Amino acid sequence: MQDKIFKALLIVSAIVIPVIGGGIIYSLTLDASGAFEHFGFWNFICSDDWVTTAGKEKYGALPFITGTMLTTGLALLICIPFSLPVALFTGEYFRGKKIATVLATVTDLLAGIPSIIYGLWGFYALRPIFMFLNLSPQGSGILTAAFVLAIMIVPYAASLSSEFIKMVPADLKEAAYGLGATRAEVIRRVIFPTAGSGIFSAYILAIGRALGETMTVTMLIGNTNQMPETLRTTGNTMASIIANQFGEADGLKLSSLIAIGLILFLITAIINLIGKIMIRRAQHV
């Protein structure tokens, strides 16, 4: 009887997840169809216009796609040099020692802090510093938002990467040491090849969090509906434009915002799919 109940629960779970995913795609596509039919799918994606004047409405997603890619890409570039050493520190160099336990606890704590807290900290603490250093004329912009995003995903990526590093069998490392390998050589030739796919998946998940981050970016990016010319200028991401204007939108504008949400969903799905393919290839090398 228990086996039958357990199998039934598994079957229900296997059915519900695809149904939910399909329902999300269907509802977004249905509500976004007005914008795609009015402007054309590719014209909507490639246009940088955002005119809200009644009778002259013209909407395009390119500035927000660009803002999303810039903030996410720059955040990842900043994240990797900081998160990977933390993962090696807690997962390999000082594994099992008190200092590693303390650092891992702090890292997990930072990974669980709500994004609005990071946004407030960035607005009141980091933004004035960026203005003082002339990194951003207004303190807000692509660079500011990306920097805080990087701080948000560093503990997330470090914590996951550390767990994968700890999973590397001790026999492999001891064998390498027995052959005269140094710590750096063990990390490069044993740990990274063995835990590489897991570490890569940690960064894919970090990218997913950065892509969809809303409140932190909304508070720091400047919220201007234009193509960002440099990293110092203000802009918007797909998530921030929806957060800013969804409450007052209707008609064609509402359909355009939902279309941007659909594009964000598809970009996230594509990145995750590419990540899974690369992980599978790495596992078979």
Tell me the per-residue pLDDT of 107-151, one tens digit each, with 9 for 90 and over.
888 888 888 899 999 999 888 888 888 877 788 889 999 999 999
Domain residue ranges of the chain, discontinuous segments joined by +: 58-283
Token pair for residue 218?
């909304």
| Total residues found in the chain within this entry | 285
Q: Which tens digit of pLDDT belongs to each residue from 19-39? A: 888 888 888 889 888 888 888
* Confidence check: pLDDT of 15 > 70: yes
pTM as predicted: 0.87
pLDDT at 146: 92
pLDDT at 2: 61
**228 neighbors 234 (Cβ within 8 angstroms):** yes
Mean pLDDT of 192-204: 86
pLDDT at 76: 92
Distance CA 176, CA 187 (A): 10
Residue 215 burial by Cβ neighbours in a 10 Å radius (0-12, 13-18, 19+): middle
* Confidence check: pLDDT of 9 > 60: yes
* Confidence check: pLDDT of 68 > 90: yes
Mean pLDDT of 2-7: 70
Q: What is the residue type of 18?
A: P
* Closest to 2 measured CA to CA, from 171, 10, 220: 10
pLDDT at 48: 86
In CATH, the number for domain 58-283 is 1.10.3720.10
pLDDT at 78: 93
pLDDT at 1: 63
* Confidence check: pLDDT of 246 > 90: no
Backbone angles phi, psi at 149, to 5 degrees: -60, -40
pLDDT at 75: 93
* Confidence check: pLDDT of 285 > 60: no
Measured N-to-C along each axis, helices 142-166 and 192-212 cross at an angle, to the nearest 10 degrees, of: 150
* Confidence check: pLDDT of 282 > 70: no
Return left, alpha or beta for 153; rule: phi > 0 is left, psi -120 to 50 is alpha, else beta: alpha
* Confidence check: pLDDT of 14 > 80: no
Please say whether the dihedral angle defined by the alpha carbons of residues 129, 133, 138 and 143, taken in this order, is positive or negative: negative
